[in-house]
């Protein structure tokens, strides 16, 4: 185990506190108290085991008065980027602006000798052709930050906050993202101190009857949020921790992920699902008993009568273009059979989750994921549960919550919303954690701060924010410095992890795999405390 800062608070003492409150692990999985856990924004304990729960801030050695300014036309331009002086975007400073970010190697760059190590804000006066287009900031050729731009009719300042730059001479570049960019000027200043209060989230779950073991896990997540990021990995097929992804990560890094990601895809009725436990359930129980954490998604195949028609692929009945099922019709009463079949599927999935509850396994439950599809393309909802629009989706989410929580009395679920667009947010009453799935370009190790901040805007309530699926790892040091402190990441399986049965460097280079898993701010399986004995609320 990598050594972490410690405080004098042993795990045995933590368990002693736990025993005095709720009988420690033996009394935790069956609680159905009618009263909610008292809300708190303070850590439950100061320290458990080897973890330091104190606030984590990073000193900024940059001079508070530091400022650097350049006109875009004075930078080095490459890859078709050139200078323009048209007024179609309004007035500009200097002698013009630059555009032509259309090729893979399109860049504007400059070199500067930074006097100290520091954390800096970039104010980029720019515009784009398509609202939401993203572009990148690279330091010495490595992408370290990305930013999206909304303004299309005139220049406006777009700020990228808290970029870490070491002392010395560095080449700073703006590189092509997914759309053409117009840049007028750029200014760099020292960043202000990070506000740590943004990570002070309530430890009260949306289900007031959540059982004790689920409260323990959520208490842990709220305690470490903003201080650590948990490593996560989706397992392929039905192999769980025996999958090649897990074996190759351990071989390369010496560590195993704190979180295992599994899919209840085979539990859908139209895929032959029944009330008998699927492999993902037994694999979830095994990982929890190894000391790990479980997250479950559900590629919910549409009901049987609506798949496999007109040459559609029956095995992909969760995709909008592979089913004739209309969620809107099922919910508005015009397709009562469709509604009844939805309830039947929910009954089946409840049976799977009941097995986990009976085994004492709390679940980071992430249903109806990626509902809005790609936010840059409003009508590209690739899953049927999002294809009828935000209102139908939210109605389905709340129906699912009501059925699982109130009808089937499943009290082991931590509800993770992953709708990909803020208008799909169903409300604080049925959501515990905000999630987002990001598949960045190969070797793009930026923190994805724009998406992190966008996700927080879905609700004024402070909630844990997690990177619930990703294809590329991010630079954890840079992410903690700029405040993008994802609660966990969870790399998808297959090509994003494995190539030719070995750990792949296609999306994340092997050195970055090792760097992330060795980082003191990343918690792996071996770093987790005994979550079965984690303290309940001690107020």
pLDDT at 178: 83
Q: Which of 248, 469, 495, 509 is catalytic?
A: 469
Q: What is the 3-state secondary structure (H, E, C) of 463-486?
A: CEEEEEEECCCCCHHHHHHHCCCC
Residues 174 and 218 in one domain: no
- Indicate if the pLDDT at residue 143 is higher than 90: no
CB neighbourhood size of 538 (10 A): 14
DSSP structure class, residue 307: B
Task: State how far Cα 231 lies from the chain centre.
Answer: 11
Query: Own/partner pairs for 354-359, CB < 8 Å, 24+ apart?
Result: 354/408, 354/410, 355/277, 355/281, 355/285, 356/281, 356/284, 356/285, 356/294, 356/412, 357/29, 357/211, 357/410, 357/411, 357/412, 359/285, 359/288
Give the CATH number of the domain where residue 234 resides: 3.20.20.80
46, part of any domain: no
CB neighbourhood size of 36 (10 A): 13
Residues 175 and 223 in one domain: no
539, part of any domain: no
DSSP structure class, residue 370: T
200, part of any domain: no
pLDDT at 535: 94
- Among 190, 224, 242, identify where a domain stops: 190
207-240 per-position pLDDT tens digit: 999 999 999 999 999 999 999 999 999 998 689 9
Residues 184 and 220 in one domain: no
149-158 per-position pLDDT tens digit: 999 999 999 9
Residues 345 and 413 in one domain: yes
Q: Which of 38, 337, 370, 391 is catalytic?
A: 370
What percent of the chain is predicted at pLDDT more than 70?
89
Domains held by the chain: number: 2
358, part of any domain: yes
pLDDT at 21: 29
pLDDT at 18: 34
Residues 266 and 216 in one domain: yes
Of the pLDDT bands very low, low, confident and very high (cuts 50, 70, 90), residue 6 is: very low
Of the pLDDT bands very low, low, confident and very high (cuts 50, 70, 90), residue 376 is: low
Residues 329 and 471 in one domain: yes
List Cβ neighbours of 474 (8 Å cut-off, separation of 6 or more).
445, 446, 447, 448, 467, 484, 486, 489, 516
- Among 123, 157, 190, identify where a domain stops: 190
Of the pLDDT bands very low, low, confident and very high (cuts 50, 70, 90), residue 473 is: very high
Residues 397 and 527 in one domain: yes
- Tell me the pTM: 0.82
Q: Can you give the residue range of the structural domain that contains 263? A: 209-533
CA atoms of 448 and 469, how far apart (whole Å):
13
Residues 240 and 370 in one domain: yes
pLDDT at 177: 86
Of the pLDDT bands very low, low, confident and very high (cuts 50, 70, 90), residue 22 is: very low
**Which tops the pLDDT comparison, 33 or 129?**
129
H runs (alpha helix) in 189-229:
212-224
- Indicate if the pLDDT at residue 8 is higher than 50: no
Residues 155 and 242 in one domain: no
27, part of any domain: no
Supply the mean pLDDT for the chain: 89
**Which tops the pLDDT comparison, 476 or 21?**
476
pLDDT at 45: 53
In this prediction, residues 356-367 reach a mean pLDDT of 98
Is residue 370 part of the annotated active site? The answer reads yes
Residues 337 and 472 in one domain: yes
- Indicate if the pLDDT at residue 537 is higher than 90: no
- Among 156, 190, 224, identify where a domain stops: 190
In this prediction, residues 502-520 reach a mean pLDDT of 97
Of the pLDDT bands very low, low, confident and very high (cuts 50, 70, 90), residue 23 is: very low
Residues 405 and 500 in one domain: yes
440, part of any domain: yes
CA atoms within 13 A on the CB side of 106: 20
In this prediction, residues 2-28 reach a mean pLDDT of 31
């Amino acid at each position: 185990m990598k050594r972490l800062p410690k405080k004098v608070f042993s795990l045995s003492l933590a368990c002693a506190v736990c025993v005095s409150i709720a009988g420690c692990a033996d009394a935790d999985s069956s609680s159905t108290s009618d009263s909610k856990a008292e809300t708190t924004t303070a850590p439950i304990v100061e320290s458990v085991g080897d973890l330091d729960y104190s606030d984590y801030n990073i000193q900024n050695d940059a001079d508070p008065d530091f400022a650097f300014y350049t006109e875009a036309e004075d930078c080095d331009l490459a890859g078709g980027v050139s200078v323009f002086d048209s007024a179609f975007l309004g007035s500009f400073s200097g002698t013009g602006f630059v555009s032509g970010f259309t090729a893979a190697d399109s860049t504007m760059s400059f070199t500067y000798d930074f006097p100290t190590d520091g954390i800096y804000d970039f104010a980029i006066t720019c515009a784009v052709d398509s609202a939401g287009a993203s572009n990148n900031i690279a330091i010495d050729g490595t992408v370290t930050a990305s930013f999206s731009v909304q303004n299309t009719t005139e220049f406006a300042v777009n700020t990228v906050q808290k970029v870490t730059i070491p002392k010395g001479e560095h080449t700073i570049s703006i590189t092509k993202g997914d759309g053409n960019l117009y840049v007028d000027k750029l200014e760099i200043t020292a960043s202000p101190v990070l506000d740590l209060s943004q990570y002070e989230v309530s430890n009260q779950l949306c289900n007031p009857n959540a059982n004790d073991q689920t409260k323990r896990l959520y208490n842990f997540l709220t305690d470490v949020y903003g201080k650590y990021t948990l490593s996560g990995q989706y397992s392929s097929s039905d192999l769980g921790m025996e999958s090649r992804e897990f074996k190759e990560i351990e071989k390369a890094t010496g560590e195993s992920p704190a979180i295992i990601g599994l899919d209840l895809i085979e539990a859908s009725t139209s895929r032959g699902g029944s009330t008998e436990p699927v492999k993902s359930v037994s694999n979830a129980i095994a990982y929890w008993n190894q000391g790990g954490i479980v997250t479950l998604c559900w590629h919910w195949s549409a009901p049987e009568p609506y798949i496999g028609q007109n040459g559609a692929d029956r095995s992909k009945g969760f995709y909008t273009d592979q089913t004739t099922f209309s969620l809107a019709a099922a919910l508005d009463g015009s397709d009562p059979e469709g509604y009844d079949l939805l309830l039947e599927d929910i009954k089946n999935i409840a049976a799977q989750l009941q097995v986990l509850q009976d085994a004492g396994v709390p679940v980071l439950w992430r249903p109806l994921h990626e509902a809005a599809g790609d936010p840059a393309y409003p009508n590209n909802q690739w899953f049927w549960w999002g294809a009828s629009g935000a209102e139908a989706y939210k109605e389905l989410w709340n129906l699912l919550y009501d059925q699982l929580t109130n009808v089937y009395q499943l009290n082991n679920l931590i509800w993770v919303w992953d709708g990909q667009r803020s208008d799909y947010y169903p409300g604080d009453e049925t959501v515990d954690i905000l999630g987002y799935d990001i598949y960045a370009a190969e070797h793009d190790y930026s923190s994805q701060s724009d998406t992190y901040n966008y996700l927080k805007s879905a609700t004024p309530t402070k909630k844990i924010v997690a990177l619930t699926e990703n294809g590329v790892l991010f630079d954890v040091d840079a992410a903690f410095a700029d405040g993008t402190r994802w609660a966990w990441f969870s790399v998808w399986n297959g090509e994003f992890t494995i190539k030719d049965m070995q750990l792949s460097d296609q999306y994340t280079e092997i050195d970055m795999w090792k760097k992330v898993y060795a980082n003191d701010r990343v918690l792996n399986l071996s770093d987790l405390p005994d979550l079965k004995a984690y303290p309940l609320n001690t107020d």
